[in-house]
Structure 1
């Protein structure tokens, strides 16, 4: 993967990460795997920094998903049980 290919892929993920949520059909594990595919040793410092921001955003989404899983279900009236 060339420097330019990596840059394009990171740019694509930056765009997508601005739109994904915990409710999407594509699971967050898919995005985690996409981030893991980058050859860390071949990255430029600016690319590493951009990937670090993406990983932080994904961690935040993953934490939100875990928090939603532990919340009690809502009643029909909109209050928690």
Structure 2
């Protein structure tokens, strides 16, 4: 299956968040690091719809899955 390319900022748009570089950095700085034993979608920074989107992107190996992994990694760094 071929996955369309999406920019990291587009994932933030899809989640209904500000998507400029400064806003993305601020979001990550404000919400990282997540505990190692917490799933990304279970983080308290998401509303129900955002959490569902993140879960579905991973479960369905959707075209967003790679960026969701990138977001997860970004939120794991101290």
| TM-score of Structure 1 vs Structure 2, range by shorter chain | 0.3 to 0.5
- Please identify which structure carries the higher helix content: 1
With normalisation by structure 1, the TM-score equals 0.37
TM-score by length of 2: 0.38
Larger radius of gyration: 1
